[in-house]
Structure 1
């Protein structure tokens, strides 16, 4: 006979772990405006939107490197890609790196990783050797998930590097595994990092395979202005992309429901974010790898103990600060020298401010800075985008006024009217490069464009905004 009293039992407060469980729910290649709270009108993310009302939503969050492997290296170490040695795909995280998992493990947490890793040595598409797992003690993952699985064929590898085939649509398969992990570790503090492939494209076909129920549901849907103006591949691919995100949000809701059923919902620190965005081949021949918001701006939501409820942060922030943030919220000492926590910004009542530093590789060696008002980017014309982590010489390539042109359709670089803005941002960018451990570099001014782009003018008070 079923013991309903036992089923309904919830641990008294005194019996619960004193350390908050932590779950990172990471999507891949998801734009910030592919969420309802980020402005998308298609009803894709009701679970995320609801959770954000009991947490903090960062409305202007940016990845430090819009590419899978470097972005993930930053999320595991809290350092920029050039500082942790992983500036492009195909490089591996150092086995002695001081990582998120190692810090949490040292504080008595169980640590688990499920999904896509993409930080192991070149040639390892599936299994990942124990020393290359960043310190996580439970492992159910594949290094390059996009190359060993498909939408309805999910293959991961366990702690013994043996293949594990999971049933269901890939998002659901990973979510089921995550819920099993949570259930198995409900009575102890744990850090669980769940890393999905979706809404990343399926590489071998270059398509976005949504679950069958949503395959045709979102064709012809609303497009962000940059995609509507620049086209790229968005018209044929946005339906699948949105269908993936819809199922991703349903999975997120299932995970939160699991926490509710275990009495852990209010105790748990949860993060929803993505490694980088997606510009649908509008800025180059790929989906990311540029300084533009389509590549760099990502969803970011944190909820849990000590996190302000129902708050929208408009400051510009970088997700490289997530490791320090999670350690601070969990009461764990962060490594010396990593990028600072986002908690002061999360609790600030000052007017929106902040800057995000961006490093780009593989399509071009580029650097960028994102402020509230401006986006400024430089390109290294002599550098090899694959071999070179940086350069000692850059040339101005991008300048956008985000107040007048939020989707970066009008490049102002080289205009005499905006010379003071570029000069100011150049100094800020060089300061960031130095702080990221890059060698000294020079940034040459762009070739001056002919004056006369309408009546464009920048007031002195706007230069530093």
Structure 2
């Protein structure tokens, strides 16, 4: 964490208690102001999601000397870099359900992988279509009901299961099951196959996106591009870079949260770096197409991920933990309303993205949405003072857990019975507790330490309030008795 960010946080900390009491009216007033002066010409919106992309592998975030992301860095130089964005559920399908519905994963019907999105919920795609947009999707979906014959995931996705993306559709429910890095199949809106061979998967999906962007658009468009990389190829249990790319990243920088722990990073980091480079090249290519088609000035471009990657250092797979390596994600936005270099350190979550994009487009968000638009944080110091810097994290599959993330602390509780078959538990135990100021790499677990008891109790009560606001029953949280 930079000294600059630390000093800003120290300044905010003294006013946080008062700020939280005034946050809602201040942000609400800003929201009404924006909606009352909606843009005369609706901006196009592109959301580019790279699966399992660590926030610190963006060069503009200044934490990794080996990563190669000149095009994403240029995006950050033109627009807004939300440097402390987090996922509210660090696993693929639940995270996506939160992103599209601005509801918590326990409310979307997708609290673990393999479940279907609740069709009754308003979605970002659906709300934009109501406002006159087309809603278009390319790539991995992961929000349709799993099919055991296809590794738990169907290939084609029925129109009613597409979450409001009812215009262009070129995707598969889970690319990791229907494709490999150099061959595979996705399906069009009529569920006719589109196959590729001898082309890298990232480039193939970029081809499809370029094809769409070069077509004449009669309406403003919302395009969601969902890449699999740098996520691992499931049946190979590793990320796979373009041919020859991994050799360029042998002996590259090892993030400090990884280097002290056993895991798969020793073998897999070169390929991960190569995948990152391929994603960056894809972003650059699409930005050039926007310029050539004279769309760039009126297009909001969002670069984001669904979760990070800890390379089996924190549990027996790649994410599904409360650590920064799992929950922190890149979030960079450029375009109308987001122009001008700015790093924004306030905590924002995936749950906040959909209402933010609607506000930027001058569209009213559904009252049922739980997220907060962070559009007021852009170039508004007063709104940033009033921002409530808390995010709720729900964890499934690896454990049934809950966490609260603040600028200074991560406090996580877990169902120590090991039961992961239910969306929530009635009783949790304190499990992990990290000081983000002194230990940003989260190597010292403070759970159970008596000198931190008062802070743990404060965070426990805050977590309970967040859980109730998310629609959960207030649980019992048992204090840790031993150092983990």
TM-score, normalising length: structure 2 = 0.87
Structure 1, unmatched stretches of 5+, are: 1-15, 451-465
Change (3 A) 1:449 1:26: closer
Instruction: Measure, in 2, the Cα distance between the counterparts of 1:366 and 1:207.
Output: 26
Superposed displacement of residue 53, structure 1:
1.1
The answer as to whether partners of 1:17 and 1:188 remain within 8 angstroms in 2 is no
Q: Which moved more, 1:94-103 or 1:370-379?
A: 94-103
Are 1:86 and 2:110 an aligned pair?
yes
The answer as to whether partners of 1:29 and 1:200 remain within 8 angstroms in 2 is yes
Q: Which residue of 1 aligns with 2:459?
A: 425
Superimposed CA distance per residue, residues 181-224 of structure 1 (whole angstroms, 9 cap, x where no aligned partner):
11224443000000000000000011211001313111221011
Q: Which residue of 2 aligns with 1:19?
A: 42
Are 1:126 and 2:155 an aligned pair?
yes
- Structure showing the higher helix proportion among its residues: 2
Superposed displacement of residue 107, structure 1:
0.9
**1:56-67 map, 5 Å:** 56-67=80-91
Alignment match of 1:389 (pick from 418, 423, 443): 423
Q: Which residue of 1 aligns with 2:374?
A: 342
Superposed displacement of residue 384, structure 1:
2.3
Please give the secondary structure, in 2, of the residue aligned with 1:294: helix
Superposed displacement of residue 154, structure 1:
3.4
Instruction: Measure, in 2, the Cα distance between the counterparts of 1:143 and 1:244.
Output: 21
Q: Which residue of 2 aligns with 1:456?
A: none
Alignment match of 2:99 (pick from 75, 80, 84): 75
Q: Which residue of 2 aligns with 1:35?
A: 58
**1:116-195 map, 5 Å:** 116-123=140-147, 124-137=153-166, 138-167=168-197, 168-195=199-226
**1:243-392 map, 5 Å:** 243-338=274-369, 339-349=371-381, 350=384, 354-382=389-417, 384-385=419-420, 387-392=421-426
Change (3 A) 1:402 1:23: same
The answer as to whether partners of 1:125 and 1:145 remain within 8 angstroms in 2 is no
Superposed displacement of residue 308, structure 1:
4.4
Q: Which residue of 2 aligns with 1:199?
A: 230
Are 1:437 and 2:467 an aligned pair?
no
Please give the secondary structure, in 1, of the residue aligned with 2:302: strand
The answer as to whether partners of 2:305 and 2:330 remain within 8 angstroms in 1 is yes
Q: CA RMSD in A?
A: 1.6
Q: Which residue of 2 aligns with 1:410?
A: 444
Q: Which moved more, 1:198-207 or 1:441-450?
A: 441-450
Superposed displacement of residue 283, structure 1:
0.6
Superposed displacement of residue 442, structure 1:
1.1
Please give the secondary structure, in 2, of the residue aligned with 1:197: strand
Alignment match of 2:263 (pick from 228, 232, 238): 232
The answer as to whether partners of 1:17 and 1:189 remain within 8 angstroms in 2 is no
Please give the secondary structure, in 1, of the residue aligned with 2:278: helix
Superposed displacement of residue 79, structure 1:
0.7
Superposed displacement of residue 43, structure 1:
4.0
Instruction: Measure, in 2, the Cα distance between the counterparts of 1:213 and 1:258.
Output: 26
Please give the secondary structure, in 2, of the residue aligned with 1:407: coil
Please give the secondary structure, in 2, of the residue aligned with 1:399: strand
Superimposed CA distance per residue, residues 366-411 of structure 1 (whole angstroms, 9 cap, x where no aligned partner):
01111111111000124621x2100111100011111111010000
Q: Which moved more, 1:279-288 or 1:441-450?
A: 441-450
Please give the secondary structure, in 1, of the residue aligned with 2:343: strand
Structure 2, unmatched stretches of 5+, are: 1-38, 148-152
Please give the secondary structure, in 2, of the residue aligned with 1:418: helix
Instruction: Measure, in 2, the Cα distance between the counterparts of 1:384 and 1:309.
Output: 48
Instruction: Measure, in 2, the Cα distance between the counterparts of 1:170 and 1:278.
Output: 20
Superimposed CA distance per residue, residues 349-377 of structure 1 (whole angstroms, 9 cap, x where no aligned partner):
24686122100000100011111111110
Q: Which moved more, 1:33-42 or 1:23-32?
A: 33-42
Q: Which moved more, 1:80-89 or 1:65-74?
A: 80-89
Please give the secondary structure, in 1, of the residue aligned with 2:170: strand
The answer as to whether partners of 2:138 and 2:169 remain within 8 angstroms in 1 is yes
The answer as to whether partners of 1:353 and 1:372 remain within 8 angstroms in 2 is no
TM-score, normalising length: structure 1 = 0.91
Instruction: Measure, in 2, the Cα distance between the counterparts of 1:180 and 1:96.
Output: 32
Q: Which moved more, 1:414-423 or 1:39-48?
A: 39-48
